[in-house]
Amino acid sequence: MTLDDRGDTSHAEAVEQVALACRIIAAFGYEDLTLGHVSLRPAGDDRAFIKRKGVALGEVTPGDVIDIYLDDPDCLTTPGMHLEAAIHVEVYRSRPDVGAVIHGHPLYATALSATSTDSAYLEFLTHDSALFVDGLGIYDDSAELITTIEQGKAVADALGSRRAVLLKNHGVVIVGEDIRWAVLAAATLERAVRLQVLARSLGQIDPLSREAAESLFPAKYQDDLLDEYWALWERRFGAHD
């Protein structure tokens, strides 16, 4: 299946994609008991599809994906909804360009969120970091669960126009134009932070300039390549018996 146009994503496809995305990011370090969640909003839709609570990311099937209407004031009380679904609802409400949202607690990026605000910074060390050329947002209001509309709005504000925001001493929120971009950003952020940890352990780091990172982006991150990556992930993680 090719996702050239997010607007062509049917509801059945959306459910399949959310389930697959959960299994993919589980393999890239996001699985944490039954915590963490992925959602998708088809273009032009007032509905989002999100992993239900109670299952681990790596075991999600289409039957574990529920839908919510974003304009429903009671959507956060939908049966099966994660406690922190306010993150997804408020990011979608504030970012019309976002087609998918991921929240999780990957080991390295979560560790970065627990460093001081000044050092919670992703260096431009490799091609991976070029995906985050606009930097990482930092939500540092508290380390509490994001359970209210007000907290969700604050996370969306901290995210701004970026692809990722660190939740201080908590985890990360990743967004993408569609599910492919969100999954790629989730996997790439964790790899970029791991590389940063490794580089610092080996010696003095020698980052790329912001200009160099910006010039790398259009060559490294293209829709055609995203189609290839998604096809690979479908082959590798597509089975859900």
| CATH number, domain containing residue 46 | 3.40.225.10
Q: Please tell me the predicted confidence (pLDDT) of residue 116.
A: 85
Rounded Cα–Cα distance for residues 76 and 70 (Å) = 9
**85: how many CB neighbours lie within 10 A of its CB?**
27
Residue 1 lies in a domain: no
Residue 21 lies in a domain: yes
Please give the residue range of the domain that contains residue 152: 6-237
Provide the phi-psi class of 64: left if phi over 0, else alpha when psi is between -120 and 50, else beta.
alpha
pTM score, two decimals?
A: 0.94
Where would I find the beta strands (DSSP E) of the chain?
A: 37-40, 47-51, 65-69, 100-104, 137-139, 164-167, 171-176
Q: Please tell me the predicted confidence (pLDDT) of residue 108.
A: 97
What total number of domains does the chain contain? 1
The answer to whether the CB of 171 falls within 8 A of the CB of 106 is yes
Q: Please tell me the predicted confidence (pLDDT) of residue 121.
A: 85
**Beta strands 65-69 and 164-167, pairing class:** unpaired
One digit per residue, pLDDT tens: the chain, 241 residues? 333 444 456 889 999 999 999 999 999 999 999 999 999 999 889 999 999 999 999 999 999 999 999 999 999 999 999 999 999 999 999 999 999 999 999 999 999 999 986 656 899 999 999 999 999 999 999 999 999 999 999 999 999 999 999 999 999 999 999 999 999 999 999 999 999 999 999 999 999 999 999 999 999 999 999 999 999 999 999 865 4
Rounded Cα–Cα distance for residues 152 and 90 (Å) = 5
Give me 199's structure tokens.
């580089």
Q: What interhelical angle do 11-25 and 223-237 show, nearest 10?
A: 80
Residue 130 lies in a domain: yes
Q: Please tell me the predicted confidence (pLDDT) of residue 5.
A: 44
Residue 135 lies in a domain: yes
Q: What interhelical angle do 149-159 and 86-94 show, nearest 10?
A: 50
Residue 99 lies in a domain: yes
**Beta strands 47-51 and 65-69, pairing class:** antiparallel
Give me 100's structure tokens.
């998918």
Residue 42 lies in a domain: yes
Q: What is the DSSP letter of 225?
A: H
Residue 94 lies in a domain: yes
Q: Please tell me the predicted confidence (pLDDT) of residue 10.
A: 87
What sign for the dihedral angle of Cα 140, 142, 144, 150?
negative
Residue 108 dihedral angles phi and psi, to the nearest 5°? -75, -45
Give the type of residue at 118: D
Residue 182 lies in a domain: yes
Q: Residue 147, class by beta-carbon neighbours within 10 Å (0-12 exposed, 13-18 middle, 19+ buried)?
A: middle
